[in-house]
Amino acid sequence: MIKLKLLPIVGSFAENKDFARDIRLKKIIPALENNQEVTLDFEGIDSATQSFIHALISDLIRKYGMEVLDEIYFKNCNETIKKIINIVADYMQD
Amino acid sequence: MKIYLPNSAFLGNIDPFLRSFESSNSKKLEITANKKWISIHPVVLSMVAALGLTVSPSNIYCEKLEAVSRHYLKRMGLFNLLNIKSEIEIKEHESTGRFIPLTKITNSEELTRFITDMIPLLHLEPKQAEPIKYIVSELVRNVLEHAQSENGAIVSAQYYEKSNSIRIGIVDTGVGIKETITMSHKVPSHLEALRLALTPGITGMTRREGGTDYNAGAGLFFIKSIAKVNRDFFMIYSGDAMYKLLKSKHESKHIRLCGNPFEDRHSKGDDFSFWKGTVVGIDLSLDATREFSILLDLIRDTYVKTVKERRKERFRRPRFI
């Protein structure tokens, strides 16, 4: 299991898609390829854009299938962030 | 190019302004204004600034402004941004109000800094700040990623005490929406390009549902939805076409979001002066700001429903003969 604290990388408003893509490509995918589970820790993050969450997780669902959501834990998400993650997960799985 | 700043141009009455400016002779810009009073939405100011940045400062002619409210243009930084002289002076002790002067954003780092600095300038509470940060981030990122605009995005905003609202203008002089959407979709007109750009799940980057790893085609739909839920104006203008979400009536308790923007209460047209690039204006009433998380529930339902319907439309069975 790897644990990623997002706040130091993305700040309290997670909107920079370049950071999201880097986290996915450089941290999440290598961990998944090594059969490790991933915890994304949103502690201290007040809000996120749909574009940010899309850049963070949509391609994982496309590449690995919806089962990838069994390998990823979203920790310390507030209501807004939970809902945005759910929206992205919904439209990627349909 | 010629642009005339009228007595009044806000999103509700902006149509004559959008029809009035002349886009011929792109090497020169002439700015004239109403002699008595100039009262304009930040989006109008952002348009003037964006046009001015496409020509050399020596080719900008700005007539001597006489309107009593001319200081507004100076305070919003129009002349500084365009690097032209103005005789308008502002007394230092005058109240600065709550506004974001014209700002040019050309990269991701500038955007992040702008969003951080913006909220204290507008004196917003966290609940009010959330949708505004969201809107600015998504719209400016659209410009940075798709517009190919030499001058990036030109942003300005103003708080209006009387209506307790924030009005924002985000403008670019890039390739425009039609050219971006055409990369993946057949688009016969600028107006149809606007319709597609506002439809959830459609992006110029791919025809595939769900978008690419980097673009979902949801940003403008989210922003139109924020405006609709708060019963505010939202206007997008590119090429010769303009779409405006009109304020919905307060009597109706239940708000229904629409995947197809033409099903919302709106006005539109494709007979406006040609704008090379994209213009977005939005009003956000602070009285009506709904909890952002409630808005997200509505968006989720509409988004998923719209994408499902489109998939169903595209579904084909093999034909056995």
The confidence band for B40, taking pLDDT boundaries of 50, 70 and 90, is: very high
For chain B, say whether A88 makes contact (Cβ under 8 Å): yes
The confidence band for B174, taking pLDDT boundaries of 50, 70 and 90, is: very high
Residues of B in contact with A94 (CB under 8 A): 209, 304, 307-308, 311
Radius of gyration of chain B (CA): 20
The confidence band for B93, taking pLDDT boundaries of 50, 70 and 90, is: very low
DSSP E strands: which ranges in chain B?
Answer: 2-5, 8-9, 29-33, 39-40, 60-62, 99-105, 153-160, 165-172, 234-239, 241-245, 266-269, 275-285
Partner-chain contact A16 B213, CB within 8 Å: no
Domain boundaries of chain A, sorted by first residue: 2-93
A38 torsion bin: left (phi>0), alpha (psi -120 to 50), beta (else): beta
Partner-chain contact B304 A94, CB within 8 Å: yes
DSSP string, B231-249: T--EEEEEETEEEEEPPPP
Predicted pLDDT at B207: 84
**Lowest mean pLDDT, pick from B39-48, B98-107, B137-146, B305-314:** B305-314
Average pLDDT over residues B126-149: 93
> ipTM score here?
0.93
For chain A, say whether B136 makes contact (Cβ under 8 Å): no
Residues of A in contact with B115 (CB under 8 A): 13, 15
Predicted pLDDT at B203: 87
pLDDT of B249 strictly over 80:
no
Contacts of B74 (CB under 8 A, 6+ apart): B86, B88, B89, B90
Please tell me the distance from the alpha carbon of residue A38 to that of residue A1, in angstroms, as a whole number.
6
**Lowest mean pLDDT, pick from A24-28, B90-94, B104-108, B248-252:** B90-94
State pLDDT tens for residues B277-295: 999 999 998 886 667 778 8
Average pLDDT over residues B55-66: 93
Token pair of A15, please? Answer: 């909107």
Residues A61, A64, A70, A73, Cα dihedral to 10°: -60
Domains and CATH numbers, chain B: 97-314 (3.30.565.10)
- Mean pLDDT score of chain B, rounded to an integer? 90
pLDDT of A94 strictly over 70:
no
Please tell me the distance from the alpha carbon of residue A24 to that of residue A41, in angstroms, as a whole number.
14
Residues of A in contact with B110 (CB under 8 A): none
